[in-house]
Structure 1
Amino acid sequence: MSNRITVGLDGSDTDATAANWAAREAELRGAALELLHAEDWPQYAPLAAPLPESRRQWAEDLLAKARNRLLRDHPGLDIRTRRIEGLAAGAALASAAADADLLVLGSRGLGSVAGFLVGSTGADTIPQTETPVVLVHATDTPDLPAASDSGDGPVVLGLDLHSNCDRLLGFACQEAERRACPLIVVHAWSPPPILSYAPALDPGIQTEIAHGLETSLRELLNPWEQKYPQLAVEARTVIGQPAIQILDAASDAALVVVGRRIRHAALGTHIGPITHAVMHHATSPVAVVAHA
């Protein structure tokens, strides 16, 4: 890795929140911060796209203003800027951040019921990169906390025991260690439909399944607890829809970590329904980590 945090800026009102979070993360890691703008002008539009020189000047001004603002708050931080051209901003961002430690993008709040809007660029970028992507949610809605206000809570990891969890666990443990905060690991499960009849036949069968899952989770976490002995790890196996249980545990989280399975299918890649739901409804920053 390059010891670099890259944050994508597009001139929207989410830029400041994403850049602020990325700067703090870069300081935590002792990393450089790269401010990146990927031009994504439509090829066909009702209004003509600005002339190349106008586009270039606008992008350079955007990056320069963001850099100057961040340097006032983080004078010791190594902050670089880069502008890349291309019609597909998602692919351009994914390519530009291929060797970064982290790619940070902003998203827009829609309210406590609707959740957040992960824009088309973010939705396009995440499936195309194996670099961890953090979505930082900005909102001016009074009943939603700003993402920058949730830095003192735990790191919450949503885990599927049936997946390869090493990359997710490594990322979550490192983030919790950097913040000196607890790590909460959530595995949610739903009883098979046949168990709706089972309690009358065997009242202990659901308890037995839950105990088995708890044992499996503790065994999975044991080597990571040995690797990070100062880290307080709380394991939760809960009955319910995974996205709902993760969101419930993450109500005051500093960071929520979820996975995206790497798939190279003929019809393209996708994010997955649980990760998709968490991305759109978590009020805390959400890290999406690609894994095998």
Structure 2
Amino acid sequence: MERIVVSGIDGSAESRAAAEWAAREARLRDLPLKVVHVWDPVPDPIAQAPHLGGGTLQHWAERVPRETVEGLRLRHPGLEVTAEQLPGGPAEVLARVAGDSELLVLGSRGMSGVGGFMVGSVGLSVVAHAERPVVLVRAGEQAADEHEPDPTGIPSAATPYRQVVLGLDTTRPDESLIEFAFEAAAARGAALRVVHGWSPTPYEVYSLAASPETQHLLAAQRAAALAAALEPWRAKHPNVEVIEEAVVGVPAHHLVDASRTASLVVVGRRIRRRAFGPRVGAVTHAVLHHSTAPVAVVPHP
């Protein structure tokens, strides 16, 4: 694996926002950035035919990575930025590229100008198949969106970062997922808000209704499990403020709510080898479609 941040680009507004986010992330991690443009080659007569807006299809395909790199170097002086154009299907190529990088960043269209993502088939396929973290960024995402509002109530890149939110299943907490979230918070100098949402079993629902003491006991057990999972990471990252939340309800709902005041939401995806292929879990799928902050999906066993 190469220590590099990679951004997939295609000339769209969402891929430009993703490239800008990737540049900021590369600066935080002190890593170089590579922009990758995947182009499915076409027969030469088609490639050389006039394209809408002027120029040929081949000229447009070559211009996208060149102009992206030029713009990123101008706006992020000192950042090492390179470009690569690869042939093939975008989903397959980007999933492969992700495996050779520290982090892959992709764009996702916003939903009619309101909060949330519209994750296309390419993005979902890459997330489902990649074995390295993938971040999805909305079109229109700005650097200021990651920061707390200034005294006038306006987000500003000069103010501290908003918190990083981690969705965690305490029954099988994965170290790579927790480590990614802590390191993201540490790099930003931000608080880490860890959300463990749980839905009571039918027996627990009955017990909760019948006994307030049982309600307190179950809540205490969930909170204790969350604290135990995070204890070694608190010791490893003593400068990261950690906010623990063990809350009753659908986990995705709590994470989407938390995304409204987050700079980044971190969720996991279990790598499963099944005959019908990889899948994105229900919680991660819901967060991808409805989060108002960039979402990092970290694959793990």
Partners of 1:138 and 1:147 within 8 A in 2: no
CA shift at 1:238, angstroms? 0.5
Query: Is 1:11 the equivalent of 2:20?
Result: no
Residue 181 to residue 200, structure 1, CA distance change in 2 (3 Å): closer
- Structure 1, unaligned runs of 5 or more: 140-144
Q: Quick one: which of 196, 201, 206 aligns to 1:192?
A: 201
CA shift at 1:203, angstroms? 2.5
Counterpart of 1:204 in 2: which secondary structure? helix
Residue 214 to residue 52, structure 1, CA distance change in 2 (3 Å): farther
Query: Is 1:50 the equivalent of 2:46?
Result: yes
How many Å separate the matches in 2 of 1:77 and 1:60? 22
> Which amino acid in the other structure matches residue 8 of structure 1?
G
CA shift at 1:262, angstroms? 0.3
Query: Is 1:286 the equivalent of 2:289?
Result: no
CA deviations on 1:86-109 (whole Å, 9 max, x unpaired) are: 1x2111111122121000000001
Partners of 1:242 and 1:274 within 8 A in 2: yes
Alignment of 1:1-292 (within 5 A): 1-40=1-40, 50-51=46-47, 54-86=56-88, 88-111=89-112, 115-139=116-140, 149-151=145-147, 152-199=161-208, 201-292=210-301
Residue 215 to residue 42, structure 1, CA distance change in 2 (3 Å): farther
Please give the TM-score of this superposition, normalised by the length of structure 1. Answer: 0.90
Which region of structure 1 is more displaced relative to structure 2, 114-123 or 153-162? 114-123
CA shift at 1:273, angstroms? 0.8
How many Å separate the matches in 1 of 2:90 and 2:97? 10
Partners of 2:115 and 2:291 within 8 A in 1: no
The alignment covers a number of residue pairs equal to: 282
Partners of 2:173 and 2:229 within 8 A in 1: no
> Which amino acid in the other structure matches residue 3 of structure 2?
N
Residue 111 to residue 204, structure 1, CA distance change in 2 (3 Å): farther
How many Å separate the matches in 1 of 2:256 and 2:117? 13
Residue 23 to residue 49, structure 1, CA distance change in 2 (3 Å): farther
> Which amino acid in the other structure matches residue 257 of structure 1?
V
Please give the TM-score of this superposition, normalised by the length of structure 2. Answer: 0.88
Identity of aligned residues (%): 42
How many Å separate the matches in 2 of 1:271 and 1:233? 27
Residue 49 to residue 290, structure 1, CA distance change in 2 (3 Å): farther
How many Å separate the matches in 2 of 1:10 and 1:219? 44
